[in-house]
Amino acid sequence: ANNSNPMFQYVLTDHYHARNPHVAPPGSRHAVASLENSPLYPSSRIMSHWEGYRPPAPGQPSRFTSACSTMMYRDDLLGSELGASILVSEPVHNLIHRRHIHMDGLLMNSSKPESEDGTEFLRSTDSWFRPTTIRTGPDGAIYFADIYRIVIEHPEWINDQKEKELNLREGSDKGRIYRVVRDDTPLRPYSFPAHSDQNQFVRDLTSKNGWVRDYAHMQLVWGKNSPAIDQALETITLGNKSPRARLHALSAISGRGVLSASILLKSFKDQHSEIRRLAVRLSEGFSSGEGASEISKALNQLSRTEQTPQVLLQLAYSLGEFNTAEVAPSLANILHRQGANQYIVSAALSSTSTNSTDVLRHYQKLAADTPATTVFEALLATTLATDDQQSISKLAQQILSPAAGSPNTWHFTALNSVQRLLQQRGTNLAKVLSSPAQQATL
């Protein structure tokens, strides 16, 4: 978030894209909520000391100027309608704003709940009311801090003369913490187990409360090795009805260093996409050594059958950590199936820095005479950037021998690019194709 935008989503993961510097990824920052679609309805007299503040026109809603502490409510005690919501503090306007989250493929979007049209989740007529940090408590309530100040702005943004007239710290002894509860539902008090009570922490992974699950998860990762606890976590991972519990248990098993290829292979088939996505990411730890081949084959199967964009994005990333025969056809499958999705295509291309020629060969077979231009050009750019003469000549052979008869326009464009690169290196296509090394490969 920033002052004007209450929530951003970063769709891509930077460290994967660093593997292939020859292809630039698309912009990754997506505004889940923005100034334009996030009207505010304060009930107070706005007391802003920022010299650039301009109140809205009469009858018009206000806009975010101090968005902070964006968070999701992680429980169901206050009502299921809060479960897919974000809460955002807006201390300048003396309120807490709520938005519903909904997914559009890989992208998060949000909207103001109809029940709060023209009002807010929480607002005060007190101009000194300055809500800041918001958290879900272990008892299911929502807690937030009100730092309670007359001045909320940093002095840098206040007119120098006005700054001299203000007591910038006025109210500093009046801050408080609020708790939001239901008047018809009791809270669930949490008793901290002893750090040695690992069995209780296993049970707490099934809690409906996100804070409790996180705390239990940490204690299980930090706890002493215990085959009995490891077995209990495996039982939750493979059989509990709660997807959240299965997700935490699988991650805790990995954090304890006892994750096996067998558990991963079963988790690849979990009914919930988030467990499959986590399992794919954790498979990177098995990219070499025992189990790599079997897991690589399972990932290849996912590249053919998986439908959920989030899983496919992670799969496109994680395949690049393997060095097995299945990687190139798997990436080609994803590029062919998801050619119109710029994020998944970019993730797959990040995995092709060492095998772009093989990926292109498999991709050509799948795409026949209609490869996506952006995909083909990116694979070509990666291959040419390696400056590997044998790979370049193999690529030229593929282009010169189209699988479906007569060449298309893109074949000639590709050959022109290859020829241009070779000329920059003091050679040409004819020399490369007639070299002894190349003749030995034909």
pLDDT tens track for 122-155: 999 999 999 999 999 999 999 999 999 999 988 8
Reported as a single tens digit per residue, the pLDDT across 214-234 is 999 999 999 988 999 999 999
Share of the chain above pLDDT 90, in %: 69
Q: Higher-confidence residue: 46 or 403?
A: 46
The CA distance from 347 to 440, in Å, is: 35
- Give the mean model confidence (pLDDT) for residues 106-126: 95
Q: Is the pTM of this model over 0.85?
A: yes
The CA distance from 289 to 43, in Å, is: 63
First to last CA, the chain: 56
pLDDT band at 385 (very low <50, low <70, confident <90, very high): confident
Please report the pLDDT score of residue 83 as a whole number: 84
Residue spans of alpha helices (H) in 322-388: 327-337, 342-349, 356-367, 373-385
Highest mean pLDDT among 50-59, 164-173, 324-333, 382-391: 324-333
DSSP state of 152: -
Reported as a single tens digit per residue, the pLDDT across 277-316 is 999 999 999 999 888 999 999 999 999 999 999 999 999 9
CB 76 within 8 A of CB 93: no
pLDDT band at 402 (very low <50, low <70, confident <90, very high): low
Q: Which of 32-46, 115-129, 206-220 has the lowest mean pLDDT?
A: 32-46
pLDDT band at 159 (very low <50, low <70, confident <90, very high): confident
Please report the pLDDT score of residue 51 as a whole number: 80
pLDDT at 98 over 60: yes
Of the candidates 372, 362, 356, 364, the one whose C-alpha atom is nearest the C-alpha of residue 320 is: 356
